[in-house]
Amino acid sequence: MKVSAIITLKKDVLDPQGKVIQQALDGIGFNHVNEVRQGKYFEIDVEENDPVKAKKIVEDMCKKLLANLVIENYQIIETQ
Amino acid sequence: MKVSAIITLKKDVLDPQGKVIQQALDGIGFNHVNEVRQGKYFEIDVEENDPVKAKKIVEDMCKKLLANLVIENYQIIETQ
């Protein structure tokens, strides 16, 4: 089954990439934006049909490889 | 209010970055993965309190800047 993981920078970590996107949006007329923060999104198709186990596997992946837990948070979402 | 956008590659578009992540996961013991696809995630705080309007604004942003609609799909999610 497919499980998705969203990795975002923690609240207190500066996001210069998001800032640049905000400036670009401002440049094309979106002037009422308070903040943009960018994150990563992974859609992982694991060979596991039990949603709970599949989520656990993807959570392990986040902890071991996908997310840097010092500065990032992860969020697991069931996709299918 | 905060609205999130998830940008993913369309189904038929190859995702070499996802493939590399899959190989890296395989290397650290996650051998039962069918596919990994990577996408982008944006959390946008717009000066608009009406959820419908806020989503509409972020959808416009996706169309005009954030997503390349030739090869990517977008998905808008209400965050807060």
Q: Is pLDDT above 90 for A8?
A: yes
Looking at residue A47, the DSSP 8-state letter turns out to be S
Q: Tell me the domain boundaries of chain B.
A: 2-78
In which band, very low, low, confident or very high, does the pLDDT at B12 lie, cut at 50, 70 and 90? very high
CA A62, CA A38: separation in Å to the nearest integer? 17
| Three-class DSSP category at B79 | coil
| Tens digits of residue pLDDT in A26-65 | 999 999 999 999 999 999 999 999 999 999 999 999 999 9
Report ipTM (2 d.p.): 0.90
User: Quick check: A54 and A48 in contact, CB under 8 A?
Assistant: yes
Residues 15-34 of B with CB under 8 A from A: 18, 21, 24-25, 28, 30, 32-34
Question: A60: buried, middle or exposed (CB in 10 Å: 19+, 13-18, 0-12)?
Answer: middle
Q: Is pLDDT above 80 for B19?
A: yes
Q: Is pLDDT above 80 for A6?
A: yes
Q: Which fold has domain A2-78?
A: Mth169; Chain: A , (3.30.1280)
Average pLDDT, integer, range B45-55: 94
Contacts of A3 in chain B (CB under 8 A): none
Among candidates A28, A32, A44 on the partner chain, residue whose Cβ is nearest the Cβ of B47: A32
Average pLDDT, integer, range B9-30: 96
Q: Is pLDDT above 70 for A80?
A: no
Strand partners, B42: A38, B5
CA B36, CA B19: separation in Å to the nearest integer? 6
- Name the residue in chain A with its Cα closest to that of B36: A44
